[in-house]
Amino acid sequence: MSPESDASSPEETRGSQKVRASAAKENEFTHYGRVATWMIARGLWSVIFGIVVVFWPRVQIDSPFNTAVGVRTAALLILAYIVVQALMLLGQAAKTPALRTQLLGQAVVVLPAAGFLLFASEAGAVRAAIMVWALLHGLLEAWIYLRVKHQRMSTDFAIAAAVHLLLAIAMIAGSNMKALSEMGLTGAAATIIGVVYAVGGFTRNNRKNTGAISEDGE
């Protein structure tokens, strides 16, 4: 048997490498596009929720500096926020196979929190719902970060995980917290995460469109 039949020629080897490199880059373009779209959507929704929280009418108690919101109001606003997030997570999971388990998990953990919020009549129930949701969501977000930490801009997920976990810790520590504080802290956390996600999504989308994507993509 001739040596030529046992080994590929340099031209064939280079051609095969180009095909593999092209396929890898195409997969990364697809990955960036899918992630970017949903990051932008989820980020903008989080910012909108944060703005709503800031401008939601308060009830004045003794003075303009002493205001409150009803427990049901806070519960339903937070419920709307996490339910819409869950629906977007389901859409993202359908388009992002590599992170499907984590994203579906984040959608599912909304269910126990939604149960608390739907029937909440005391600030303690709202606080428990936020704590459970933020803790589980944050842990799953940390898992996502571990899966994609080799990529550029993966710190977006680390920041989001940290903010969710800090929100959970705040709820655990705030045993006497009122509905206004619970809603305010959730809105603040959502705004931070929303800005990080929206900026990260637009940046990824720009990298995808210009071809400026890292070589170590998923």
What are the boundaries of each domain within the chain? 23-210
The reported pLDDT for the residue numbered 64 is 63
Residue whose token pair is 């996502």: 144
36 vs 24: which has the higher pLDDT:
36
The reported pLDDT for the residue numbered 29 is 41
For 30-154, list the strands marked E by DSSP.
Answer: 59-60, 67-68
Q: Which of 1-15, 37-51, 71-85, 119-133 has the lowest mean pLDDT?
A: 1-15
- CA torsion, points 46, 50, 55, 61, in degrees to nearest 10? 130
Residue 67, helix vs strand vs coil:
strand
Nearest to 117 by CA among 48, 182, 163, 21: 182
The reported pLDDT for the residue numbered 21 is 41
204 vs 111: which has the higher pLDDT:
111
DSSP secondary structure code for residue 215 in this structure = T
Give the amino acid at 43.
Answer: G
Which residues are 60's β-sheet partners? 67
Does residue 53 contact residue 81 with C-beta atoms inside 8 Å? no
Distance CA 189, CA 141 (A): 14
Residue 28 pLDDT greater than 70, yes or no: no
Does residue 163 contact residue 8 with C-beta atoms inside 8 Å? no
Backbone torsion region of residue 67, taken as left when φ is above 0, otherwise alpha when ψ lies between -120 and 50, otherwise beta: beta
The number of CA neighbours under 13 Å toward the Cβ of 200 is: 24
The reported pLDDT for the residue numbered 19 is 39
pLDDT digits (tens, 9 = 90+) for 49-81: 999 999 998 887 766 656 789 999 999 999 999
Percentage helix, strand, coil for the chain under 3-state DSSP, each rounded to 5: 80, 0, 20
Residue 3 pLDDT greater than 60, yes or no: no
Burial class from Cβ neighbours inside 10 Å (0-12, 13-18, 19+) for residue 203 reads middle
- Residues across the chain: 218
What integer best gives the mean pLDDT of the chain?
A: 84
Residue 206 pLDDT greater than 90, yes or no: no
Q: Which positions ≥6 away from 106 have C-beta within 8 Å?
A: 86, 89, 136, 137, 140, 141
